[in-house]
Structure 1
Amino acid sequence: MSNGDGDGRNDLRMPDDDEVFAEVVEMLGANRVKVRCADGKQRTARIPGRMQKRVWIREDDIVLVEPWDWQDEKADISWRYEKSEAEQLREEGHLQ
């Protein structure tokens, strides 16, 4: 997945217009986690069924969430970054 210039940088999935970076703060159980979003809000995020058995989400993981239109304190997780990808996002200034 390297872009070919030899610096080890990967092209990472970036947020769409309706997505925001978030850090998992607490596991709540029942496929829900508490996340701290890059826009400064804490939300309860839902782990969708397509991710439940394939992607393990833990505290301190960096994820992409899609806040709900009708209830801003809730969101759906759409992507989880690996640790190395999260470090790359921090180095490039996308995360605090």
Structure 2
Amino acid sequence: MPGHGYSYAAPTDAPGKDPRFTGPAPRRREIALARTDVTCKRQTNVIDVWSAVDAAYQRQMMATKLRELARAKNDIRVQTANANRVLNGEADD
């Protein structure tokens, strides 16, 4: 962004949090900033990097919670099976 005349401390700061752009409809300056922001994010591949890092954190967290996730998965299967029995008129009275 600095190469385009904009100064933001982090990629998440521009443009949605810019206090200059708080009106109900975007103005030309705001649209120009948003286009530049998208262009810069594409050029630096920041979205793919964020996504890859976030996915790695999620995989790491899932690996540490395998038992809990397996129990939750089983609970959902039981609840779904029970709901299907009720919907099919097979529920016990």
TM-score (norm 1): 0.23
**Could you say which structure has the larger radius of gyration?**
2
Compare relative contact order (CA 8 Å, sep 6+) and give the higher one, 1 or 2.
1
TM-score (norm 2): 0.23
- Larger relative strand fraction: 1
